[in-house]
Structure 1
Amino acid sequence: MTADAIVLGAGIIGVSAAVHLARRGKSVVLVDRRGPGEETSFGNAGLIQREGVVPYGFPQGISMLLRYAMNNRVDAHYHAGALPSVARFLASYWWNSHPARHAAIARAYAPLIEHSVREHDDLIQAADAGHLIRKQGWTQAFRTAAKRDAEITEAERLKRDYGLGFQALDAAGLAAKEPHLSSDFVGALTWTDPWSVTDPHALTLAYAGLLQRLGGRIVRGDATTLAATGTGWRVSTSDGPVEGKDVVVALGPWSDTVTAPLGYRFLLGVKRGYHMHYGIKDNKLLNGWTADSERGYFLAPMDRGIRLTTGAEFALRDAPKTPVQLERAEAVARNIFPLGERLDAEPWMGARPCTPDMMPVIGKAPRHQGLWFAFGHAHHGLTLGPVTGRLIAEQICGETPFLDARAWRPERFPL
């Protein structure tokens, strides 16, 4: 089997890249060990985060670091045994999160986020997936006036600097918006620009269906068998070897299983996360996507039930599940909303691929012809799938990218 391009990884990033390549007339084979969207892209809060111009930084204050060190929070958890292995990544992540460096990173990151909704809309229309989309933004609910006032001040800055829309709500306004939440909250902030997705896995499948209608093939295969040939690249699949001139590595947290054997030493970390779906008691409603801001978990009214998602777990990528954050979050969430029974047999877990400067790696490999990287999107993989897919396809096809992609190039790291 031959193709113009092989895309390794069938998450939202890889599927989007394959679609954009196929749209440009390239023959494409999408390779994954599982079906489209069955790994990290399967579980998330389902947000296309147009407001997410400031990536999630590492806490800087000593008092906050000490609180996290207690390892008893909902929004973050760590495996003590993993700390020696992840210490270098965490140290670089902390350094890049210094306010001055973090602000510069946000300015470089913002153009990707700025185009996230528009690029999704393009593929949503082409894939006939509009039934999966809600255009109502999402809400941060606050338990204290201090947190509410600080976040509204920051929202006003983001509106000035990046043109983001929001609505500040007092307690009565939040109660009108979400009448079945408890009275624990003093107010809220609704970001009005983002879109939400009622089934992220279904959206990835819709884009995969678009790829197939464009002539692309989807096969099961082993990305770690990637090897250079005289004219390009070869990878083993269940349908036999596939050869192509170009190959895109879009394997998320597993990208190093391909890049490291080729001599690239990215400092790639993971933030693991969990979700569970719940029924609702007494026919109550959760009208929109809602974060309990101070506790650090999310409730999302999805097609499969109310999805509760957790914050970040710092652990080895392939370590067994330890859903203690989910247990903590569920106990809190049941006090503020009438969650019913669990609907999933067990908690879902995924691993977000993270770089220490909080920006993805998008571009050509510096030491190999026909090798391209598209990974490291952390919390914004769903958000940035189509943007990244378009950028990488434009570069492969020799077009002028619609965004200046230098800020996200692989060479920014010592490789």
Structure 2
Amino acid sequence: MKTDVVVLGAGIVGLSTAIHLARRGKSVVLLDRRGAGEETSFGNAGLIQREGVFPYGFPHDFGALFRYALNNTIDAHYHVRALPGLVPFLIRYWWNSGFTQHQNIASMYAPLIENSIAEHADLIEASGAGDLIRKDGWMKVFRSDKERDAAYKDAEKLSSTFGVNHQKLSSAEMKVLEPSIKVDLSGGLRWTDPWSIRDPHSLNKTYLIYFQSLGGRLVSGDAATLEHILEGAGWRVATPEGPLEAKEVVVALGPWADTVTRKLGYRFPLAVKRGYHMHYGMEEGATLNNWVLDAEKGYFLAPMLRGVRLTTGAEFANRDAPKTPVQLTRAERVAREFFPLAERRDDEPWMGARPCTPDMMPIIGKAPRHEGLWFAFGHAHHGMTLGPVTGRALAEKMTGEKTVIDIKPFRPDRFVA
């Protein structure tokens, strides 16, 4: 079997890249060991985060560092055994999170975020997925005046610098918007530009159907079998149907990118932040009208099709270590005091792994030492947000077009020669 391009990984980044290549007349095969959007893209808060100009940084204030060191919070958890291997990554991550470095990173990251809504809108319209989307933003809610006022101040800076819109909400307005919340709030902050997704997995499946309508194929296979065809110009990967050969290959494997890149001699400083979610029913008469972050506790409640999705923060662990959903247990206890959650609707907590680089920016572009090899991974918390704009920019680069944004800041050779 032969094709123009094989895209390894059918998450939102790989799927979006495959769509944009197929739109440009390429024959494209999307290869995954499972299905579309069944790994990291399956579980998240379901946000297209137009406001997320600043990637999630590592805290620098000693109070937060001490709190995380105790390893008993909802928003962060770590495996002690994993720390020795993570230290080099964490040091670089901490340094890049300093004020000056973080500001510089945000200025480079902003074009990706600024195009996130428009590029999703294109695919949503083309695939007929509008019923899965809400366009009324999401909310942070605050229990203290101090945290509220600090968030308002940060929002003003973000709005003035990057044109992100927000709305300040009083305690009385919060009671009208979310009457089922059981705790007293000092106010809220609504980011009005982002869109939310009622079921991320369904959106991935809808995008897949659109990709297939363009002539693309999804096949099962093991990306780790990828090999360079030395006697020719191309690549080969094993599938149950036999070897598949392509002129070009895109590695969009998220946290599993190293299963391919390391074999080819690339050593990217890629780590993972694992996260968990669980769906719940609501007590009779309760309503959750918005995507809500309990800002001072570090968990998210989202009104998904399956029920209220409770999501946790970041778990620093080895990618393949067994699940340890302690953050979910902590979050559920607090969330039940905050909102009238009812029964659990999943048999067990879902867990995913977000692929992260120490400078908080994805790796997008041509491999430095191989022809026909392209990378698109490392989007951390913003994979769902940035999948379509990444896919378009990379497809344009691969076909010699002018790219919708400058992807030089995300070039692979910033980490490897």
TM class, shorter-length: over 0.9
What code does the residue aligned with 2:323 have? K
Match of 2:346 in 1: 344
Match of 1:120 in 2: 120
Q: How does 1:174-253 map to 2 (within 5 A)?
A: 174-229=174-229, 230-253=232-255
* Displacement of 1:183: 3.0
Distance 1:62 1:186 in 2: 26
- The SS at the match of 1:374 is strand
Do 2:254 and 2:378's aligned partners in 1 also have CA atoms closer than 8 Å? yes
What code does the residue aligned with 1:44 have? N
Distance 1:243 1:184 in 2: 60
* Displacement of 1:330: 0.3
* Displacement of 1:185: 1.5
Q: How does 1:282-293 map to 2 (within 5 A)?
A: 282-293=284-295
Do 1:184 and 1:336's aligned partners in 2 also have CA atoms closer than 8 Å? no
Match of 1:42 in 2: 42
- The SS at the match of 1:283 is coil
Distance 1:286 1:64 in 2: 30
- The SS at the match of 1:262 is coil
Do 2:182 and 2:340's aligned partners in 1 also have CA atoms closer than 8 Å? no
Matched, 1:302 2:301: no
Q: How does 1:387-398 map to 2 (within 5 A)?
A: 387-398=389-400
- The SS at the match of 1:120 is helix
Q: Residues 258-312 of structure 1, C-alpha deviation per residue, up to 9 Å, x if partnerless?
A: 0011011100010000000000001310001000001100000000000000000
What code does the residue aligned with 1:334 have? R
Do 2:183 and 2:337's aligned partners in 1 also have CA atoms closer than 8 Å? no
Task: Tell me the TM-score normalised to structure 1 length.
Answer: 0.99
Distance 1:300 1:239 in 2: 40
Distance 1:243 1:250 in 2: 17
* Displacement of 1:145: 0.6
Distance 1:315 1:116 in 2: 29
Q: Residues 151-178 of structure 1, C-alpha deviation per residue, up to 9 Å, x if partnerless?
A: 1111011110011110001111111111
Task: Tell me the TM-score normalised to structure 2 length.
Answer: 0.99
Match of 1:65 in 2: 65
* Displacement of 1:203: 0.4
Distance 1:140 1:254 in 2: 32
Do 1:276 and 1:347's aligned partners in 2 also have CA atoms closer than 8 Å? yes
- The SS at the match of 2:36 is coil
Do 2:138 and 2:192's aligned partners in 1 also have CA atoms closer than 8 Å? yes
- The SS at the match of 1:307 is strand
Do 2:228 and 2:236's aligned partners in 1 also have CA atoms closer than 8 Å? yes
Structure 2: give runs of 5+ residues left out of the alignment: none
Q: Which moved more, 1:266-275 or 1:279-288?
A: 279-288
Match of 1:326 in 2: 328
> Displaced runs of 4+ in structure 1, greater than 4 A?
none
- The SS at the match of 1:242 is strand
What code does the residue aligned with 2:258 have? D
Match of 1:369 in 2: 371
Match of 1:101 in 2: 101
Distance 1:44 1:188 in 2: 22
What is the Cα-based RMSD across aligned positions, in Å?
Answer: 0.7
- The SS at the match of 1:248 is strand
Q: Which moved more, 1:197-206 or 1:183-192?
A: 183-192
* Displacement of 1:402: 1.3
